[in-house]
Structure formats: C-alpha cells, structure tokens
Chain A
Amino acid sequence: MKGSIMNRQLDGETETGLQFFGKMTASISHEIKNVMAIINESAGLLEDYSLMAEKGMPINPERLKVVSNRVTNQIRRADSIAKNLNSLSHSVDEFQKSVGIRETLELAMGLTGRFADMRSVVLDFQPPPDFPNVITSPFHLLNLIWRVLDFAMDASGPEKKVGLTFEADPTSVKIRFTGIEALTNLPETVFPTEKEASLLGMLSATIHHDAKKGEINLVLPKDDRQQATAESHLERSR
C-alpha cells in the first residue's frame, strides 16, 4: 500500500470538494430511482389494464391518458435531473472560467431542491433581470453556494423559506441569502466554518452577515484572478 491514497491524507479542500460531489450525486441517483419507480409502476399498471382487457373488462381511455401523462411528466423530471447532473459534472472541466451567476444559482437550486424538500424548506429564487458573469472556479462556487444554502436551510425561521437573489456592480456580484432568522441567536463564529473559509479564500470571496435582517451576503469579485493579483501585490508591498 506504499504511496497509495490510503496512506496519504486528503487535503481539506479536496475532501470538501469530494464530499460535495458525493452528496449531490447520491441525491441525484436517489431521485432518479424515484422516477424509475414511478415509470416502472406505470408500466405495471398498463400491463394490469391489458390483462383486464384480455378478460373482457372495458378500459376507460381516460385512465390510459392519465398513465401516459404521468410517464411524460416523469421523463421531463428525469431530463431535468440529468441536465443538473451533467452541469455539475462539467463544473470541474475548468477551474477558471466565465460563469453565469443566474445559471449557477439555478443549478444550485436544482441540486438543493431535494434537500430542501427533506427539511420542508421552500427555496425562493428571485433573480433580477440582468445576467452577470464572474471569472472563477464553477465547481468551488457551486460548493460554496451549497454550503451557505445548507446552513441557511437549517437556520431558517418558522416560515421555513430561504430566499435567494443577487445584484451586480462593475467589480463584484453579491449573492443574497434571506430568511435565515436563527442568525440573530447565533454567534458569527458559527458560520462560516473553516470549510467555507477555505472556499472563500480560493474564490477571493467574502461573506457578510446581517443578523437583524436574517441575511447572508456572499460577495464575489467579477474576476477572481484580478483579485488574487491585487492581493499578492498587497502582500508583497507589506
């Protein structure tokens, strides 16, 4: 086993990234199984109908239409799940590229939907009419958005509704998570943890709490390469 991965410790960032990837794909496969179960039972129901018809029992065409619509809806659902999986998989193609914020948040919502359902939390995405882009690592950005959403869902108020929106200025994009009512009772040290801090560092991003409003703002530079260069200049000048 000398030199094998078993003998080496994964660094924190790799571990966090792998855990995120694993969590998302496990949830996706679970959802696909649910879709398959409905399609499987729909096929079984059609078989039941045909056996009934063979025995001379009349079948109402409306019942067939219901099954057909059900299968079509499930195929649409599976298509959307597969698209999310595909986008998540391709997020590791490049670790520095132009990323659409609206598209990234839509993907994050799609990936998080099942987790929200499990916690009976409603996710409410209210995008403004603009389409800002940032140059960053799409995978790490998704991971960070998930981690904030995960915390926000756990810390949401009795309304159990987490809002999500964004706004852009010439140099940065601010992603706003709202409805985090438990923020008022939590010390700022609770969130972000080391794991989020590591992702924030990687993306040259910052997190700001507004406990009174129950909000977390994630601020991303439009180009994290420029931010990194500026920081290294600053570091050298010290």
Chain B
Amino acid sequence: MEKVLLVDDEKEFLEIMAERMGARDMDVTTTTSPKEALKKAQEESYDAVILDLMMPEMDGLETLKKLKKKNPDLQVILLTGHATVQKGVEAMKLGATDLLEKPADLKILTEKIKKAHTRKMILVQKKVEEKIRHILAEKGW
C-alpha cells in the first residue's frame, strides 16, 4: 500500500482524490496548507507527495525546495493547472520526480505514484547497503 500526501488548496479536489485513491488501496493524507504539509512530511514517511504548484501561504516550488531540503529522497510529484516550460524545468532542477497537468488521468497519476514508491524503495535499499558497507569497513570485518 502506497502512502501518499496530497497537497492542494482546492478542498473538494482533495476530498474526491482521497476517496478515489483510497479505493485503489492507497493510504492518503490530505492538506490544503503547504506549512502543514512540511510538518506532516517531517513526522511521517510518505512514498510520494503530490503537490499543487500554486497555493496560498507558500508557492509550490518553495514548498518543494523545503521538502527536498528536509528529505532529499522524498518523491514529489507536482500537479498543476498550468505548467509552463520554465516552471517545469525549475521544478525538475529542484528535484521533483514528475510534473502532471490538471485535469490529470488518475491511471497515469497512480502509475507515477507506484514508480515513485519503487524509486523510494531502491533509495532506501541503497542507503541500507551503504550503511552496511560503512560498518563493515569501519569494523574491519
């Protein structure tokens, strides 16, 4: 089961998405506040964060920057009304996993979440391997 954090200032959009994604066996947490999203992402481990690009309180790119600063391995998929090439490039440079335009196809979004989940698992595995290698080298076993 993928654990997803969905951040969008459109409350109704969040409600429907949570219901639809939940029916697809995803564990979905929602918030309309980017600040709350940062807090949640620090408290919990998510397989993917779906983030709206334009929100009150904090710009989506700013939120992305802060999320990645706190957890560089976090998989963030941007979902936006209008993706300009410039914003898309900027988002990718900041470490976004993907960018989708609204209205998005849930099938495509689900695929991207599953890919993000796999990527996260690989990163976790790599880190564990590195840690083991480091311990082995340090202890000289």
A interface with B by C-beta (< 8 Å)? 26, 29-31, 33-34, 36-42, 44-45, 48, 70, 73-74, 117-120
Contacts and interface: CB of A to CB of B under 8 A. Distances in A.
A60 to B, nearest CB: 13
A73 B10 CA distance: 13
B17 A120 contact: no
Contacts of B124: none
A123 to B, nearest CB: 13
Contacts of B10: 34, 37-38
Instruction: Output the residue of B9, B10, B55 with the most chain A CB within 10 A.
Output: B10
Interface in B5-22: 9-10, 12-13, 16-17, 19-20
Contacts of A29: 81-82
B54 interface: yes
B82 A34 contact: no
A26 B54 contact: no
B103 A70 contact: no
Interface string B97-141: 000011110100000000000000000000000000000000000
B104 A37 contact: yes
Contacts of B56: 117-120
Nearest to B23: A48
B103 A45 contact: no
A44 B106 contact: yes
B16 A70 contact: yes
A38 B16 contact: yes
Interface string B42-60: 0000000000001111000
Contacts of B19: 45
A40 B103 contact: yes
Contact of A33 (B55, B57, B82): B82
Contacts of A38: 10, 12-13, 16
How many residues of B sit at the interface, in one of the four size bands?
20 to 34
19 contacts: A29-B82, A30-B81, A33-B103, A34-B13, A34-B102, A37-B81, A37-B104, A38-B10, A38-B13, A39-B103, A40-B103, A41-B16, A42-B16, A44-B106, A45-B20, A48-B20, A48-B23, A70-B16, A118-B55
Nearest to B57: A120
B13 A41 contact: yes
B81 A33 contact: yes
Given A30-B82, A36-B103, A45-B20, A118 B54 contact: yes
A40 B106 CA distance: 10
Nearest to A30: B81
A118 B56 CA distance: 4
Nearest to B102: A37
A192 B57 CA distance: 27
A133 B103 CA distance: 41
Interface string B69-113: 000000000000110000000000000000001111010000000
